[in-house]
Amino acid sequence: MDKKPIILTVDDDAQVLNAIDRDLRAEFRQDYRILRAASGEEALETLRELLAREEEVALILADQRMPGLEGVELLAEARTLFPDAKRVLLTAYADTEAAIRAINNARLDHYLMKPWDPPQQLLYPTLHDLLGAWQATHRPRFKGVRLVGFQWSPLSHDLKDFLAGYMVAYQWLDFETNPDAQALLSAKGLAAADLPVVVLEDGTALARPTATEVATHIGLTTQATQELYDVVVIGAGPSGLAAAVYGASEGLKTLIIERQTPGGQAGTSSRIENYLGFPTGLSGAELAHRAWAQAVRLGAELLAPREVTELCVQDGYKVLTLSDGSTVRTRAVVLTTGVSYRTLEVPGMHRLSGAGVYYGAARTEARSCDEQDVYIVGGGNSAGQAAMYLATYARRVGIVIRGESLAASMSAYLIEQIAHTPNIEILPFTEVAEVCGQDHLEAVVLKSRGELRQVPARALFVFIGAKPSTEWVCQTVLCDGKGFLLTGRDLVTDPRYATAWKHPREPYLLETCVPGVFAAGDSRAGAMARVASAVGEGSMAIKFVHQYLDE
């Protein structure tokens, strides 16, 4: 339940304090919480506590003549803590000149005379007017996760990507340009050295947190709960999520482990328009979130963000070692580790990665590109979807491709959309030669037909093909020369791998050289890089898991 805004009344005279407290409660308690303080010092301490708890103060009513800190001094101090709160001085007739001076000098909102009887005539009308004015201009505090950081900080970017990947509603506050960010950090007793800071809805502040720390606080499961699973799916891209949905729905004790965010490369797509059943399209993050929720509803357990670093076989069981040293035991494994974007090896790329240079992440950083020039490297569907999304924010989007056109690598519907978007420009026979900037990207050097030219750029998004995320498992499971997982008939028909399969039966269609370990999706050799085919392979893998478990 949302907390009501606060009216704070302050007076050192207990009888007067009781009277004003009684009258305020009689009129305003339905919409406001009434707090009281018996001195200026006590009131300031109360206000500091309220600021730390991120409470909302609507009005402060303070007596002028108090020992120690007088009313005017208190209200002036209160303005630094709650600048939007209405401030009213309660004064006797003899102090009216001082009250008028305070309104002019200390920028008080009003003063009221003692006694105020009857309050219906001498108290309530004035306070109703002031509170109405406060309500009219007040911006309620964002209800949810807030992220405070530097725009060009790779750590801040990683946390933005993480929260966006799990579709956690969050508010981004740039410490260098947003006064609210600086005030929030001060209220939490933190400094710029603590950035990035994640502030949770309950007010808890996490300084420079890891993704696992944030995951724990937002309710994600980070530790396995079962001693033994029927099947563990490694990777929560479309194929992994499909495997989890079908495994759980068919009664298998199913665990899915994701090291980053659900959706894989598809999860970074701003709009997928060629997936069956969604005629108006949907974002990759939305598709992943729906599949994630579906898998959980059907009984799958999802562990994230957790990374599997080793797979070994002990007495027929598969033992997975996680990055923190813990282990998970399972009867079968489905490898859906997907692929990662290849890095662009030109001067400046490594230094500015996460600070204007991004691999994927178009949805995360699009708003920071408002009315700026940005460039995209790559001519596949991911690049096209990113270009269309960025075009709604950026002044100009340049698509850098080495070939003559997009026709060889991009779907026709995307090419047509790009052709009808006036602020997208195709740059054929062009490549990035260098990226420039001090602490963030400022310019890109383009090379076209042997000529170099430097152009200003707010951001560079790279989509230049992918490599399989299988480095950790290639010593256990057979991969081809490029690192893709070999499965099924490839293990017995190709003479190069003739000795890899040692089981009496032939391998199942998606089975690797280790019986009971299956592969699906983009990391599998011969797979088609489409969301629909990945979903199909993930679903098929569960059929073969059943056959293996029934042996």
Please tell me the predicted confidence (pLDDT) of residue 70: 86
CB contact set of 160 (below 8 Å; sequence gap of 6+): 147, 170, 172, 364, 365
Tell me how far apart the alpha carbons of residues 23 and 492 are, in angstroms, rounded to a whole number. 88
Which of residues 435, 464, 493 is at a domain's end? 464
Same domain, 332 and 357: no
List C-alpha distances in Å: 211 to 23, 163, 383, 431.
Answer: 50, 9, 27, 34
Cα angle value 316/319/325 (rounded, 5°): 160
Count the residues in the chain. Answer: 551
Please tell me the predicted confidence (pLDDT) of residue 158: 93
Tell me how far apart the alpha carbons of residues 551 and 547 are, in angstroms, rounded to a whole number. 7
The DSSP letter of residue 93 is G
Same domain, 160 and 120: no
Same domain, 477 and 335: yes
Q: By the 8 A CB rule, do 469 and 338 touch? A: yes
Same domain, 369 and 422: yes
Report yes or no on 369 lying in a domain.
yes
Same domain, 10 and 132: yes
Q: By the 8 A CB rule, do 40 and 74 touch? A: yes
Please tell me the predicted confidence (pLDDT) of residue 541: 98
What is the CATH number for 254?
3.50.50.60
Strand, coil or helix: what is 524? strand
Report yes or no on 474 lying in a domain.
yes
Report yes or no on 48 lying in a domain.
yes
For the question of whether the overall pTM of this predicted structure is more than 0.75, the answer is: yes
Same domain, 267 and 367: no
Please tell me the predicted confidence (pLDDT) of residue 104: 66
Q: Cα-flanking dihedrals φ and ψ of residue 149, to 5°? A: -170, -170
Matching residue, tokens 């929720």: 293
Same domain, 451 and 481: no
| Kind of pairing between the strands at 308-314 and 317-322 | antiparallel
Please tell me the predicted confidence (pLDDT) of residue 105: 65
What is the CATH number for 206?
3.40.30.10
Residues in the chain predicted with pLDDT less than 50, given as ranges, are 1
Report yes or no on 222 lying in a domain.
no
Report yes or no on 1 lying in a domain.
no
The total of other beta-carbon atoms located within 10 Å of residue 153's CB is 19
What is the CATH number for 41?
3.40.50.2300
Same domain, 11 and 128: yes
Q: Where are the beta strands (DSSP E) in 53-181?
A: 57-63, 86-91, 110-113, 145-149, 170-174
Q: Which structural domain range is residue 395 located in?
A: 349-464
The total of other beta-carbon atoms located within 10 Å of residue 164's CB is 20
Q: How many domains does the chain have?
A: 4
Which of residues 118, 137, 156 is at a domain's end? 137
Same domain, 310 and 354: no
Q: By the 8 A CB rule, do 396 and 426 touch? A: no
- Per-residue pLDDT tens over the stretch 438-480: 999 999 999 999 999 999 999 999 999 789 999 999 999 999 9
Report yes or no on 24 lying in a domain.
yes
Same domain, 24 and 132: yes
Paired residues of 197 in beta bridges: 148, 207
Please tell me the predicted confidence (pLDDT) of residue 96: 66
Q: By the 8 A CB rule, do 320 and 311 touch? A: yes
Tell me how far apart the alpha carbons of residues 535 and 336 are, in angstroms, rounded to a whole number. 11
Cis peptide before 115 (omega within 30 of 0): yes
Same domain, 243 and 336: yes
Average pLDDT, the chain: 92
Which of residues 192, 217, 242 is at a domain's end? 217
Please tell me the predicted confidence (pLDDT) of residue 231: 98
Same domain, 20 and 127: yes
Report yes or no on 223 lying in a domain.
no
